[in-house]
Amino acid sequence: MRIGVIGVGNMGLSLVRCLKFPNRKIIVSDTNLDRPNFLDVLTDVSVANNKTLIEASDVIFVAVKPKDLHSVCKDIKEYCRSDQIIISTVAAVQSDTIRRWIDKKVQVIRCMSNLSISHRKGTVVWYGRDIPNRITNLLNGTTPMIINNEELIDHATVLLGCGPAFISKFYENFIEHGKLSGFSDDQINLMINSMFCNTTTLLKDIRPSDLVESITTEGGITERGIKTLNDMSFDEIINTSFQNMTHHINDTRKSLS
Ligand SMILES: NC(=O)c1ccc[n+]([C@@H]2O[C@H](COP(=O)([O-])OP(=O)(O)OC[C@H]3O[C@@H](n4cnc5c(N)ncnc54)[C@H](OP(=O)(O)O)[C@@H]3O)[C@@H](O)[C@H]2O)c1
């Protein structure tokens, strides 16, 4: 199978890392191919412009920013064929809009994930009509989750697409506190990385609120810290942040469609 990836920035490069497989031909296009981190990822990958990529691909992933998607569709519409599948990783823009922009009978699928696919890990949420297994299987090692309500792609964008940035922000605070406390970088990595991973392992068997409770003994140290978060409306901050991201997706969709 010949696979095209249009836009090889953060998401596109992660897709290429995940898609690479013996006997698979991968073709990429981008307006800016001068970035240093391209070199290792793009070994064994062909580089083309959007027209050549479309002509030479069976399946095309599109990983550009929402504002650039219309222009990509204008670029490719003349060369698209009805036997091709376009897979958009782009937030906010609905499949009907993409089909309208391409103006051809071509299958459009949307998928949402995050940068962990570069390590062939994580869940990929798929939306589209009759998505074949051969398509979800293209993203080696990931777990497919097929949904039949396109609105959920927006919520997956907030939770799954943007999620690692939130975890990283929290993680960063642990690292900073470790540094201030006098631990070396290696010691911090050893403690904090395993603590984050092991907490998710614990959360497979226990609800988050129960885990908090089992660590938070009355009058203890954790209780004091969690109380500080509650007093500063930590949950409300996160909730407002999620709501604002959802508003941003809706505003982007309205401005582009
Ligand atoms: N980053 C994430 O973690 C993540 C997670 C989930 C979903 N997504 C979705 O993935 C999409 C891409 O995000 P990103 O973070 O990877 O953005 P990005 O790093 O900016 O990558 C987009 C790439 O597409 C290129 N491009 C723009 N117009 C093009 C065109 N006409 N033809 C070919 N290439 C073109 C851009 O080049 P220029 O720099 O020259 O414009 C850039 O290299 C977004 O729609 C986002 O919603 C991202």
Residue 3 main-chain phi, psi, to 5 deg:
-120, 125
Please indicate, yes or no, if residue 43 is contained in any of the structural domains.
yes
pLDDT of residue 41: 74
Q: Is 66 in the pocket of ligand 1 (CB under 6 A)?
A: yes
Local confidence pLDDT in tens for the 257 residues of the chain? 999 999 999 999 999 999 999 989 999 999 987 776 666 777 789 999 999 999 999 999 999 999 999 999 999 999 999 999 999 999 999 999 999 999 888 999 999 999 999 999 999 999 999 999 999 999 999 999 999 999 999 999 999 999 999 999 999 999 999 999 999 999 999 999 999 999 999 999 999 999 999 999 999 999 999 999 999 999 999 999 999 999 999 999 999 98
Reported as a single tens digit per residue, the pLDDT across 101-141 is: 998 889 999 999 999 999 999 999 999 999 999 999 999 99
Taking CA atoms, 144 is separated from 173, 197, 214, in Å, by 32, 22, 33
> Does any ligand 1 atom lie closer than 6 A to the CB of residue 88?
no
| Domain assignment of residue 155, yes or no | no
Atom number, ligand 1, closest to the C-alpha of residue 71: 31
pLDDT at 36: 64
Ligand 1: residue whose CA is nearest its atom 6: 161
Q: In the listed set 116, 148, 180, which residue is the last one of a domain according to the structure? A: 148
Using a 6 Å cutoff on CB, does residue 98 contact ligand 1?
no
Both 29 and 61 in one domain: the answer is yes
Q: How many domains does the chain have?
A: 2
Q: Is the CB of 68 under 6 A from ligand 1?
A: yes
Reduced to 3 states (helix: H, G, I; strand: E, B; else coil), residue 26 is strand
Nearest CA to ligand 1 atom 7: 161
Same structural domain, 140 and 29: yes
The predicted pLDDT at position 43 comes to 78
Distance CA 136, CA 146 (A): 9
32 Cβ inside 6 Å of ligand 1: yes
Give the pairing type, strands 107-112 and 123-127.
Answer: antiparallel
The rounded distance, in Å, linking the Cα atoms of 46 and 154 is 32
10 CA from centroid of ligand 1 (Å): 7
Per-residue pLDDT tens for 17-41?
Answer: 999 999 899 999 999 877 766 667 7
6 lines ligand 1 (CB under 6 A): yes
Tell me, in angstroms, the distance from the centre of ligand 1 to residue 183's CA. 37
Q: Which domain holds residue 80?
A: 2-148
Give, in order, the Cα–Cα distances in Å from 122 to each of 106, 142, 144, 245, 254.
28, 5, 9, 22, 30
Residue at 113 is within a domain: yes
- Residue 257 resides in a domain: no
- The CA-based angle 127-132-138, given to 5 degrees, is 90
The answer to whether the beta carbons of residues 109 and 86 sit under 8 Å apart is: yes
168 & 142 share domain: no
Half-sphere exposure of 82 (CA within 13 A, CB side): 2
Domain limit, last residue, from 94, 121, 148: 148
What's the CA-to-centroid distance between 5 and ligand 1, angstroms? Answer: 11
| Ligand 1 lined by 122 (C-beta under 6 Å) | no
Q: Would you say the CB of residue 29 lies under 6 angstroms from ligand 1?
A: yes
Domain identity same for 131 and 21: yes
CA distances from 210 to 166, 206, 217, 233 (A): 22, 6, 12, 20
In DSSP terms, 145 is beta-bridged to 125
Q: Which two tokens stand for residue 247?
A: 């508003």
Q: Are residues 36 and 123 part of one domain? A: yes
CA distance 69 to 256: 9
> What global pTM score does this model have?
0.95
Residue 157 lies in a domain: no
Q: Which residues pair with 87 in a beta bridge?
A: 61, 109
- Are 126 and 218 contained in the same domain? no
Q: Which of 148, 178, 213 is the last residue of a domain?
A: 148
CATH of the domain at 175: 1.10.3730.10
Asked if residue 156 is part of any domain, the answer here is no
161 within 8 A of 82, measured Cβ to Cβ: no
